[in-house]
Amino acid sequence: MGEAIVITSGKGGVGKTTTSANIGTALALQGKQVCLLDTDIGLRNLDVVMGLENRIIYDLVDVMEERCKVQQALIRDKRFECLHLLPAAQTKDKSAVTPEQMAAVVNELKPEYDYLIIDCPAGIEQGFRNAISGADQAIVVTTPDTSAVRDADRIIGLVEQEDIPSPKLIVNRVRKQTKNGEEDLLDVDDVASTLAIDLLGIVFDDENVLRAAHKGKPVATTPNTSSSLAYRNIARRILGESVPLLSVETKKGFFAKVKNLLGLQA
């Protein structure tokens, strides 16, 4: 029986879809059976990031309205046998499905896979309710800026009301410290202490991510970029390994602080 993990954030544009694609790919790299579920009905992107948009015949809404079997709608990834995608519909909107229907699809898929990665739409409305309904776990993605953290805080509050364990945190687009004393963004440990949930990983701001998404090839497949390493580390942590966080190079003592944070929850 697999585990369904929902990737959510509240705010749009912080990297939910990128994170979903890369965590899914990284888990597949580890040899796990993975299914990516795009629940952003009407504004689907996950297929584009994965480079699979040309292969879509049936989608999530077709499955729910029983125009096809769930196996017919699944798209196999070009690179990995064990990575599948269930795309969202582009012609409908979020109100086309209910949380019950979504939970039914998730429960149908769960026995077939090790991990189900559910990509949640932005916002706290119907789309969020749908995405969270079948999940066993949640990962909250945020960037180190005030408004993203505020929205992440709100979404964590909502996730905590559901019947699933406390969500895990990924801080995306962290900038390496360039000059001393330059503090235009929040510290990762500030973010983690404000939100007060376990830190699953940090991903550095890396233009390779954009480049890879443009090519329809998740960055996690490239060997030597900081972001691909970060995503692969996150996948290993999901699998239960303990992997230390990547260091923010220049600022002294920072790594120790974050490691300390991780050590607290281990």
Partner 1 sequence: MKTEFSKQLVTIKGTKDGLVIRLDDHCAYADLLEELQTKMKENMIGEEQDKDVHIAVHVGTRYVDEKQRGEITSAIEQSGAISVDEITSDVITMTQALKMKEEKQIHSYTCLVRSGQVLSVKGDLLILGDVNPGGTIEATGDVYVLGTLKGKARAGTEGDEDAVIAASVLAPSQLMIADRLYLSEATREQQESESMHMGPRYASIEEEKEEMVFHNMSSLAALRSRRQKAID
- Smaller CB distance to partner 1: residue 89 or 191? 191
Query: Judged by CB under 8 A, does residue 196 bind partner 1?
Result: yes
Structure tokens at 166: 């406390």
Q: Are 6 and 129 in contact (CB under 8 A)?
A: no
Buried b (16+ CB within 10 A) or exposed e, 219-256: bbbeeebbbbbbbbbbbbbbeeeeeebbebeeeeebee
Q: Cβ of residue 7: shortest distance to partner 1, in angstroms? A: 19
d(CA 156, CA 136): 15
Q: Cβ of residue 199: shortest distance to partner 1, in angstroms? A: 15
- Smaller CB distance to partner 1: residue 191 or 203? 191
168 assigned to a ligand binding site: no
Angle subtended at Cα 149 by Cα 48 and Cα 120, rounded to the nearest 5 degrees: 35
Task: Kindly tell me which residue out of 55, 150, 176, 236 binds partner 1, with binding defined by CB under 8 A.
Answer: 150
Q: Strand 75-76 and strand 83-86: pairing?
A: antiparallel
Measure CA of the first residue to CA of the last residue in the chain; give whole Å: 25
Task: Kindly tell me which residue out of 153, 162, 189, 198 binds partner 1, with binding defined by CB under 8 A.
Answer: 153
Q: Between 188-195 and 254-265, two packed helices, what is the crossing angle to 10 degrees?
A: 30
Query: Judged by CB under 8 A, does residue 154 bind partner 1?
Result: yes
- Smaller CB distance to partner 1: residue 181 or 240? 181
Q: Cβ of residue 62: shortest distance to partner 1, in angstroms? A: 35
- Considering only CA atoms, which of 251, 211, 244 is closest in space to residue 229? 244
209 assigned to a ligand binding site: no
- Smaller CB distance to partner 1: residue 67 or 154? 154
Query: Judged by CB under 8 A, does residue 157 bind partner 1?
Result: yes
SS3 state of residue 169: strand
Query: Judged by CB under 8 A, does residue 194 bind partner 1?
Result: yes
Task: Kindly tell me which residue out of 107, 146, 250, 265 binds partner 1, with binding defined by CB under 8 A.
Answer: 146
- Considering only CA atoms, which of 60, 65, 51 is closest in space to residue 109? 60
Residue ranges with strand state E in 59-136: 75-76, 83-86, 115-119
Query: Judged by CB under 8 A, does residue 156 bind partner 1?
Result: yes
Size of the site for partner 1 (CB under 8 A): 10
216 assigned to a ligand binding site: no
25 assigned to a ligand binding site: no
Task: Kindly tell me which residue out of 114, 119, 151, 187 binds partner 1, with binding defined by CB under 8 A.
Answer: 151
- Smaller CB distance to partner 1: residue 34 or 148? 148
Known binding-site residue numbers for ATP: 11-18
The residue ranges that bind partner 1 (CB under 8 A) are 146, 150-151, 153-154, 156-158, 194, 196
